[in-house]
A and B are shown apart, each in its own frame.
Chain A
Amino acid sequence: MRQSNVGWLFLAPASLILFVVGFVPFLYILYVGFFDWNTNAVDPGLRWAGLQNYRSLVFDPTFLNSLTRTLVFAFIVVVSELLLGYVLARALMADRLPGRQFFRTIHTLPIVVAPIAVGATWRLLCVPGLGILPHYMKLWFGIDYNISTNAYHAFGTAILMDIWHWTPFVTLSLMAGLTALPKEPLEQAQIDGGNKLQIFWYVIVPMLKPVLLTTVFIRLMDALRSVDEIWMLTKGGPAEATRFIGLHIWINVFPKTDYGYGAAMSLLTLYVTIVLSWLLFVAMTGRKGGAQ
């Protein structure tokens, strides 16, 4: 390691670009959020509004509902994917897994497919008449499955799609984490007569904590911001059943050109995202003392 300012020269071009396309927009909405600004209004200029945008926002039922819906969605998918991913990773952990490369290749597929194509694919599965989902739901369970009229079906399908899309990532990263665990503490716990649940909770979970934290963090951030695949699947409908926060901002701000309010909405969403990730971090690292 060389102590020198030359290092900054290497970082400068990357930092400059990220500053312009990543940080300047943030400062800009911070500024615009304090103004009343609608380019289609009688007065298309910026008028100082103080905190008025934020005051209306916290009483805006469509915004609050979509935020709640997003949190419910994110909670369900992250928990299901984590449980499912863990069970699958454990079940398939045997060192002689046949075709390990092949398995990993198949499981990489949903991760690299364009989210917009994932949405299109699931739509093909769900269109009544054409898709196999409505067909078999009718055949096996007698359910008239229709995501464009039934809010529960739409919400459920959005969850199912996300689970299909991201469980492989959770499985793969937990498999990587489990493979890297040292064997001795596990064997020691077995000799000491710990049962499976005790070993899981007192030995595996604490050792796996960094991996779990990283995986949950990445999945939560992604679930909170999913837009593309939902847009292709349901367009946020029926009514507002699958209109998550990102989609809400997108389909509200641009047609209405209400930029001041849109800026406040964007900023509050960012704030909620940051607070959530911070809470997650505290919750996951704070419990360490009790477990060890």
Chain B
Amino acid sequence: MRRLGLGSTLLWIGLSILTLLPVWWMLVVSMRPRVKLYSKSFVIDDFYWDNFRAVLGNSTFLHYLWNSMIVATSNAALVCTLGLLAAFGLSRYKIAGGDNVFFWLITNRMAPPAVFLLPLFLLFTKWFVFGDFMLFDTKIGLILLYCVFNLPFAIWLLKGMLDGIPPELDEAARVDGATTSQILFQLILPLARPGLAVTFILTWIFAWNEYLFAATLTSSSSARTVTTALAEYVSVTGTNWGEMAAMAFLTTLPALIVLGFVQKHIVTGLTFGALKG
């Protein structure tokens, strides 16, 4: 109704600067040679790429980066597939105790990860062992584990989207003799594609960002992820701030790329569909 006044405009600008400032500072530091690190200027004075070159030339870091790619992509694919099936079941069938299942799903998402570190560590090293294979320090272990927080999120987001597709369409298709799998794959899937894309991207980012489980449940470069690389880097050297900033920036990069695409859905997703962003 009312136009934005001068005060609000200034607030808007100030707020945006404050929000961007720490990330900008990270970028500024990552592009500074060691001798200029103590400059307080907010400007990127010279485009110095050696920090990035050093980080990307480190084969261990590249390995971690690759692991993160595999884990995040596989987890997002798994979560979207199972999430779509579950959301279809919850949205299109009356399930006895469906509300309780729903409630149980949120509790999985909300549980403090630190509480589950110890039991998962013990289960991964002592119980989920099949011959020579154990889940500890494997990418598969992380892929399955990240379902704990990503699967509830995906089911929630997708259920909201499937609820928006009129059930009359299914009924019409069923009258025409379509089987359930035809309805799911040939009718629902194409209509739900935009929702699936958003779900895939957000769950991918959450898997990419995860640190605590990855740090505890992996021990070698065969499964460690990029977030653990960043934490390890600080504890090992701690002084080469330029390279650390470059590494932090590379860790943040995927989030920056998809930012514009997910902004519409992030609030809906994080509030379990309670709010439409």
Judging by beta carbons under 8 Å apart, are B8 and A18 in contact?
A: no
* Chain B residue total in the interface (Cβ 8 A): 97
**The residue from B110, B248, B270 contacting A117, defined by CB atoms under 8 A apart:** B248
**The residue from B20, B108, B267 contacting A22, defined by CB atoms under 8 A apart:** B108
**The residue from B1, B16, B26, B121 contacting A121, defined by CB atoms under 8 A apart:** B26
> What is the minimal beta-carbon distance from A69 to any residue of chain B, in angstroms?
14
Task: Kindly state whether residue B57 has any CB partner on chain A within 8 Å.
Answer: no
Task: Kindly state whether residue A245 has any CB partner on chain B within 8 Å.
Answer: yes
> Once bound together, how far apart are the Cα atoms of A282 and B121, in whole Å?
35
> Once bound together, how far apart are the Cα atoms of A249 and B117, in whole Å?
9
> What is the minimal beta-carbon distance from A72 to any residue of chain B, in angstroms?
17
Given known pairs A109-B259, A114-B252, A262-B118, the reply for A269 and B11 (CB within 8 Å) is no
* Chain A residue total in the interface (Cβ 8 A): 96
Q: Which of A49-57, A75-83, A190-198, A208-216 contacts B (4 or more CB under 8 A)?
A: A208-216
Judging by beta carbons under 8 Å apart, are B115 and A249 in contact?
A: yes
Q: What A residues does B44 contact at CB under 8 A?
A: none
Question: B226-271: which residues lie under 8 A (CB-CB) from chain A?
Answer: 227, 230-231, 234, 241, 244-245, 247-249, 251-252, 255-256, 258-260, 262-264, 266-267, 270-271
Task: Kindly state whether residue B144 has any CB partner on chain A within 8 Å.
Answer: yes
Chain A at the B interface: mostly helix, strand, loop or mixed?
helix
Return the chain A residue nearest B277 by Cβ.
A176
Chain B at the A interface: mostly helix, strand, loop or mixed?
helix
Judging by beta carbons under 8 Å apart, are A32 and B119 in contact?
A: yes
Judging by beta carbons under 8 Å apart, are B120 and A115 in contact?
A: no
Task: Kindly state whether residue B205 has any CB partner on chain A within 8 Å.
Answer: yes
Q: Which of B3, B94, B105, B271 has the most CB of A within 10 A?
A: B271
Judging by beta carbons under 8 Å apart, are A112 and B259 in contact?
A: yes
> Once bound together, how far apart are the Cα atoms of A132 and B20, in whole Å?
14
Q: Which of B45-53, B59-67, B82-90 contacts A (4 or more CB under 8 A)?
A: B82-90
Judging by beta carbons under 8 Å apart, are A172 and B94 in contact?
A: no
Task: Kindly state whether residue B216 has any CB partner on chain A within 8 Å.
Answer: yes
Q: What B residues does A111 contact at CB under 8 A?
A: 266, 270
**The residue from A24, A110, A129, A250 contacting B117, defined by CB atoms under 8 A apart:** A250
Q: What A residues does B114 contact at CB under 8 A?
A: 225, 227, 245-247, 249-250, 266, 269
Task: Kindly state whether residue B200 has any CB partner on chain A within 8 Å.
Answer: no
Q: Residues 123-156 of chain A: 1 if any B CB is under 8 Å from the residue's CB, otherwise 0? A: 1110101101001000000000000000000000
Q: What A residues does B144 contact at CB under 8 A?
A: 17, 20-21
Q: What B residues does A177 contact at CB under 8 A?
A: 275
Judging by beta carbons under 8 Å apart, are A106 and B19 in contact?
A: yes
Q: What A residues does B244 contact at CB under 8 A?
A: 120, 124
Judging by beta carbons under 8 Å apart, are A103 and B90 in contact?
A: no
Task: Kindly state whether residue B194 has any CB partner on chain A within 8 Å.
Answer: no
> Once bound together, how far apart are the Cα atoms of A35 and B220, in whole Å?
30
> Once bound together, how far apart are the Cα atoms of A118 and B247, in whole Å?
12
Judging by beta carbons under 8 Å apart, are A7 and B94 in contact?
A: yes
Question: B128-161: which residues lie under 8 A (CB-CB) from chain A?
Answer: 144-145, 147-148, 151-152, 155
Task: Kindly state whether residue A42 has any CB partner on chain B within 8 Å.
Answer: no
Task: Kindly state whether residue A59 has any CB partner on chain B within 8 Å.
Answer: no
**The residue from A18, A132, A180, A218 contacting B271, defined by CB atoms under 8 A apart:** A218
Return the chain B residue nearest A105 by Cβ.
B263
**Sample of 4 further A-B pairs with CB below 8 A, known A6-B93, A98-B4:** A26-B119, A88-B15, A132-B25, A172-B277
**What are 23 sample pairs from A and B whose C-beta atoms fall under 8 A apart?**
A1-B94, A7-B98, A11-B85, A11-B95, A17-B82, A17-B151, A18-B105, A29-B115, A92-B8, A107-B263, A112-B209, A112-B259, A113-B23, A114-B252, A130-B29, A173-B275, A214-B274, A225-B114, A228-B227, A250-B117, A254-B117, A270-B112, A273-B115
Chain A residues packing against B (C-beta within 8 Å): 1-4, 6-11, 13-15, 17-18, 20-22, 24-26, 28-29, 32, 88, 91-92, 94-98, 101, 103-118, 120-125, 127, 129-130, 132, 135, 164, 168-169, 172-173, 176-177, 180, 210-211, 214-215, 218, 221, 224-225, 227-228, 231-232, 245-247, 249-250, 253-254, 259, 262-263, 266-267, 269-270, 273, 277
